[in-house]
C-alpha cells in the first residue's frame, strides 16, 4: 500500500498515475471534498481528517503502508514533519512531491511576510481599507481577531465547503464578504473579483504554478493593489512526479504494493 498525503491538485494527479500503474493507494485529506477528489482520482481507501503523530503512525501500521508520498501544500508544515518522523521511525521510504516555485515578480507593491502574524500586521498598516484574503480558511482567525484590522473590510476567498463557510461566519465575516469558489483562478477572474469587491490590499501565499499564483499576483499588480505575500517555508528536497514513479518502480519491482 502506498500512502499519499493529498489535498492538492498535484496530489490527485499523483494518485491517478499510481492507480493507473496498478498501485494500491491509501490517501489522506482534511475535508470531505478533498476525500471525494482523492477517491475520484483512484484511491482505494481515503482517511479524512487531521492526523497527529500517534494517529498517523497507527494508520501507517494498520494499513501496512510500504511508502509515504507527501503531496501536501507547501504551507502544511506540521503534517510534513510528522510524515518524515514516522517514516523514519518505522523505516519506510518517504518522498516529497516537488511543487514548482513560481518566481515572485519584483515589484514595489509586493511585500513579503515571514509568518501569519507579520502578514496581519502588514495588512493593518496598509493604506487600503478593503483587504482581500486569498489564503484559504485555516488562518483566517489571525486576521479576524487582529485589533488593527477591526475597522477594515475583510473579504475571504475560501473553498466552497461547509466547514470553511461555518468558520467564516463564526469569525464574524458577513455573507457579502465571503467568496466560496474552488481555484485555481485565471487572471481574468482574479481581476474581476478584485474589482467587484473593491480590493485595495491582497494577502496571499505562494501556491506555485499549479495554484494559479502568477495569475493572482499579476491581476493585483495591474490594479495597483498592495500585495502581502507570506514567504514560502523551507521544504525538504523533493522529486518530480516522474522521478517518484521511477524510484517506486525500482523499489517495488517485486509487486509488493501492486494490486
Which of 213, 240, 243, 259 lies closest to 71, judged by CA? 240
pLDDT in tens, 1-16: 999 998 778 889 999 9
CB atoms within 10 A of CB 141: 14
Is pLDDT at 30 greater than 90 in this prediction?
Answer: no
pLDDT in tens, 149-175: 999 999 999 988 888 999 999 999 999
Identical fold for domains 2-100+234-251 and 110-230, yes or no, is yes
Assign domain 2-100+234-251 to a CATH class.
Answer: alpha beta
Grid coordinates representing 131 are 483587504
Which of 35, 28, 40 lies closest to 1, judged by CA? 28
Domain boundaries, the chain: 2-100+234-251, 110-230
Assign domain 110-230 to a CATH class.
Answer: alpha beta
Section 110-122 average pLDDT: 95
Amino acid at each position: 500500500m502506498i500512502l499519499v498525503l493529498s489535498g492538492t491538485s498535484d496530489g490527485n494527479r499523483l494518485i491517478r498515475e499510481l492507480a493507473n500503474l496498478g498501485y494500491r493507494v491509501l490517501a489522506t485529506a482534511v475535508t470531505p471534498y478533498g476525500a471525494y477528489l482523492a477517491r475520484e482520482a483512484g484511491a482505494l481507501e481515503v482517511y479524512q481528517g487531521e492526523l497527529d503523530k500517534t494517529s498517523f503512525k497507527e494508520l501507517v501500521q494498520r494499513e501496512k503502508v510500504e511508502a509515504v508520498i507527501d503531496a501536501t501544500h507547501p504551507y502544511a508544515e506540521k503534517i510534513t514533519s510528522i510524515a518524515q518522523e514516522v517514516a523514519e521511525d518505522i523505516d519506510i521510504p518517504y518522498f516529497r512531491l516537488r511543487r514548482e516555485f513560481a518566481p515572485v515578480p519584483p515589484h514595489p507593491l509586493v511585500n513579503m511576510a515571514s509568518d501569519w502574524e507579520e502578514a496581519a500586521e502588514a495588512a493593518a498598516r496598509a493604506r487600503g481599507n478593503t483587504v482581500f484574503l486569498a489564503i484559504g480558511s485555516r488562518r483566517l482567525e489571525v486576521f479576524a481577531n487582529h485589533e488593527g484590522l477591526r475597522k477594515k473590510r475583510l473579504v475571504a476567498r475560501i473553498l466552497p465547503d461547509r466547514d470553511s463557510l461555518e468558520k467564516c461566519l463564526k469569525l464574524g465575516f458577513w455573507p457579502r464578504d465571503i467568496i466560496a469558489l474552488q481555484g485555481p483562478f485565471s487572471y481574468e477572474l482574479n481581476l474581476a473579483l478584485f474589482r467587484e469587491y473593491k480590493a485595495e490590499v491582497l494577502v496571499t501565499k505562494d501556491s506555485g504554478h499549479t495554484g494559479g499564483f502568477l495569475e493572482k499576483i499579476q491581476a493585483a499588480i495591474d490594479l495597483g493593489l498592495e500585495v502581502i505575500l507570506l514567504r514560502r517555508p523551507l521544504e525538504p528536497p523533493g522529486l518530480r512526479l516522474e522521478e517518484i514513479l521511477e524510484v517506486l518502480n525500482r523499489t517495488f519491482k517485486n509487486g509488493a504494493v501492486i494490486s
